[in-house]
Amino acid sequence: MRAKEEILGRIRCALGDGPIPAEIPRAYRTGSLLPDDEVIELLVDRLVDYKAGVLVLDAAQAPQAVAEILHAARTVVYPQGLDTQLLGALPETVELIADGRQRQLSVAELDQADAVITSSAVSIAESGTIILDGSADQGRRAISLVPDHHLCVVPASTIVQLLPEAMERLTITRPLTWISGPSATSDIELERVEGVHGPRTLDVLILRDA
């Protein structure tokens, strides 16, 4: 405890002049002014810019789209709480593995999988960001990380235009992963290149409400 007390003592001493913090001005935008379809359009535009694959569909068309996107996969991981109707059109040759409380896949098993399909909690159109919060239909963080192909389902009702709007919908203490495109780096000459350690392919299915 000595270190803690000493550091806090130093802070008190450093602030001996008693600075009075000013009121925090929050004049930035907190509410969207765009109609819903334009918000979706904005999200699509941003995700495409990040080189993600994006489809906007009615919910009923989803199983067929999932089957088409994952046609080359042999093993597909999904979180136990995912709506399995989404997987209904996949051919029987595809091995589907659920990850959940009953059975947690090992890292090696995840590494063997060709793809993962999850849902998502909230998406921010302006920055092209999809947030996963570890709910049952999104699973624990490792499953959307290790497989090289992530197919992420985004219900239209979970899309907002601005980051402050998304904050209201989040439970911040859940383990959160914010995803804005496939993994990328700007480390060589500050030019963005997609595909490093995280999934190198990101497909996004935006589903209009049924």
Interface with other proteins in residues 71-100 (CB under 8 A): none
Q: Which of residues 93 and 102 has its CB atom nearest to other proteins in the complex? A: 102
Comparison of 65 and 117: residue with beta carbon closer to other proteins: 117
Helix H or strand E segment including 160: strand 159-160
Radius of gyration of the chain (CA): 21
Question: Considering the rule CB under 8 A, would residue 64 count as an interface residue with other proteins?
Answer: no
Report the alpha-carbon distance of residue 168 to residue 145 in Å, rounded.
Answer: 26
Other CB atoms within 10 A of residue 127 CB: 16
The residues near 47 (Cβ < 8 Å, ≥ 6 apart) are 54, 128, 181, 202, 204
**Contacts with other proteins in 21-40 (CB under 8 A)?**
21-30
Closer by beta carbon to other proteins, 23 or else 92:
23
14 vs 60: CA distance, rounded Å: 62
Q: Does the footprint of other proteins cover residue 111 (CB under 8 A)? A: yes
Residue in 14, 91, 92, 209 binding other proteins, rule: CB under 8 A: 14
State which amino acid sits at residue 35: P
Choices 70-78, 81-89, 151-159, 194-202 (CB under 8 A): range interacting with other proteins: 194-202
- Only segment of 53-61, 65-73, 80-88, 158-166 that touches other proteins (CB under 8 A): 158-166
Residue whose pair of structure tokens reads 């051919």 in the numeric block: 91
Q: Does 3 help bind other proteins (rule: CB under 8 A)?
A: yes
Q: Nearest-CA neighbor of 182 among 40, 44, 70, 50?
A: 50
CB of 68 to other proteins, least distance (A): 25
140 lines the binding site for other proteins (CB under 8 A) = yes
